[in-house]
Amino acid sequence: MTELVAAAMAELARLWAGQTDAAHDIGHVRRVWAHCKAFMAEETGVDAEALHIAVIFHDAVNPPKDAPNRACAARLSAGVAGDWLAARGWPADRIASVTHAIEAHSFSAAIAPRTTLARILQDADRLEALGAIGLARMFAVSGAMGAALFHPDDPLALHRPLDDRAYGLDHLEVKLFAIVQTMQTPLGRAMAEERAEWMSSFRTRLLREIDGSGSQF
């Protein structure tokens, strides 16, 4: 870990002091960086230090999912990163690469990544919404927002509109399965497809347990 990266992590810890969001913690940052390193191995010319800083600050401003300013979180986080780097004398072009990557990582911002660095960060962050960790984060967030695990009578929303604000399981169809089609890198797409398949299998098992067909009694 470089001195700059260590300082950035210390700044993130300061910004997140008192935060209780289980889906956005230091573990999330570390996993996103691990994904980025795997993706960088298949790319050339990536500014690894800039990418690491972008990873650290990508959720620096993290309002609750139902907060009025939630859609602006990536832009605000990019501003925090840009100001922090400017205070340390970074050149404008490197700062711009970091801030663009942070802004483009957001699903809700709908900003197309224009650089390899941005594509890598976007894929690395979106993998966190898939697979076992994706399910854990999904239910943690839905529980924090007061949502039920699933609709008791129609968990697949066959006869009702999907509503992931009310039922956590609905979020699979509302957003998470669609993430696979947004992946930017070949490795990211392959990993996303495998994780989405696992999530679908989990849902199938969950439905069996809900209706009692998996019971041994």
| Residue 41 in domain | yes
CA-to-CA distance for 113 and 121, rounded, in angstroms?
9
CA-to-CA distance for 24 and 17, rounded, in angstroms?
12
Give the orientation angle of helix 48-57 with respect to helix 116-127, to 10 degrees: 40
With 70 as the cut, is the pLDDT of residue 216 above it? no
> Do 91 and 154 belong to one domain?
no
Query: pLDDT band for position 109 (50/70/90)?
Result: confident
> Do 19 and 92 belong to one domain?
yes
CA-to-CA distance for 142 and 53, rounded, in angstroms?
29
> Do 93 and 158 belong to one domain?
no
| Residue 217 in domain | no
**pLDDT for position 20:** 81
> Do 74 and 152 belong to one domain?
no
Range of the domain at 6: 1-111
- Beta-bridge partners for 167: 148
Q: How many domains does the chain have?
A: 2
With 70 as the cut, is the pLDDT of residue 39 above it? yes
| Residue 121 in domain | no
> Do 101 and 49 belong to one domain?
yes
Averaged pLDDT, 46-61: 95
With 50 as the cut, is the pLDDT of residue 217 above it? no
Task: Give the chain's count of helices (H) and strands (E).
Answer: 9, 0
**Per-residue pLDDT reduced to its tens digit, 70-107:** 778 899 999 999 999 999 999 999 999 999 999 999 88
> Do 171 and 89 belong to one domain?
no
Q: How would you write 4-49 as a 3-class SS string?
A: HHHHHHHHHHHHCCCCCCCCCCHHHHHHHHHHHHHHHCCCCCCCHH
| Residue 90 in domain | yes
Query: pLDDT band for position 37 (50/70/90)?
Result: very high
| Residue 72 in domain | yes
> Do 37 and 137 belong to one domain?
no
> Do 105 and 74 belong to one domain?
yes
